[in-house]
Amino acid sequence: MESTERFAATGELVALSGAGAGAENACIACHGLAGEGDGAFTPRLAGIDAGYLERQLIAYADGRRRHPQMSYIAEKLAGRERRAVADYYAAMASPRATSSARGSELTAALYHRGDPARGLAPCAACHGEQGEGVGPANPPLAGQPQGYFVAQFELWRQSRRRSDPGDVMLHVSQLLNPEEIAAIAAYAGARPGGPPSRESPAASLAVRRGDPRSGASGPPLHVPESARARE
């Protein structure tokens, strides 16, 4: 029994077997053998910071993120299994962009420079000029499917996803119209990506942050000045 539990707690076997959530809910069924996602509405996990991935599983389990299947899976995984499977996907190579979407000049400007007139910070401030992500707090957007990106914006806009500190994404989602969101989604997903850019200590569980919704305690999350929502 002890041996079985030890193997079940490894990240690879959680991904392959679904652990307590059952084989029908194995991570690979939706996220792929290489953590690449399905190119439509299921995100890529490969190469994303382990602390970020673990926090999302915690958010699914405690209701700050809502998705019937993911909530069920997260609730069935023990804490050590969440950490193990997060480490497993974080160690995978990030996929290269398969889309050549360049976006309009306006879309590129919104991504890289934002819109000061609307109080809209640039996406690149947190997610990187190449979509690589900035530190452990802010996930990469490169390689994420447009459909998934758009769906998450709608959840943020409706305040049904509340796992970001300071409600930054709630604010952003309410400043952009649907056409802009779809265009930015295509543009961001087609960025070349790369190793995450550095930032001040922030949001991984190892660093801890003080936002009451984070499931952790400690120093507050550092948000780059250019990315702070302006009221």
Mean pLDDT for all residues in the chain: 84
Read off the tokens for 165. 């500190």
Q: Where are the domains of the chain?
A: 2-90, 105-227
**CATH of segment(s) 2-90:** 1.10.760.10
3-state secondary structure the chain: CHHHHHHHCCHHHHHHHCHHHCHHHCHHHHHCCCCCCCCCCCCCCCCCCHHHHHHHHHHHHHCCCCCHHHHHHHHHCCHHHHHHHHHHHHCCCCCCCCCCCCCCHHHHHHHHHCEHHHCECCCHHHHCCCCCCECCCECCCCCCCHHHHHHHHHHHHCCCCCCCHHHHHHHHHHHCCHHHHHHHHHHHHCCCCCCCECCCCCCCCCCCCCCCCCCCCCCCCCCCHHHCCCC
pLDDT given at position 142: 95
pLDDT at 126: 95
The pLDDT score that the predictor gives to residue 98 is: 60
Contact 87, 11 (CB under 8 A): yes
Fold of 105-227: Cytochrome Bc1 Complex; Chain D, domain 2 (1.10.760)
How does pLDDT run along the chain (231 residues), one tens digit per residue? 444 455 455 999 999 999 999 999 999 999 999 999 999 999 999 999 999 999 999 999 999 999 999 999 999 999 999 999 999 999 999 877 665 667 799 999 999 999 999 999 999 999 999 999 998 889 999 999 999 999 999 999 999 999 888 889 999 999 999 999 999 999 999 999 988 887 644 444 444 344 443 343 333 333 334 333 332
Q: What's the pLDDT score for residue 165? A: 82
Which pLDDT tens digit goes with each residue over 95-131?
Answer: 776 656 677 999 999 999 999 999 999 999 999 999 9
Contact predicate 130/193, CB 8 Å: yes
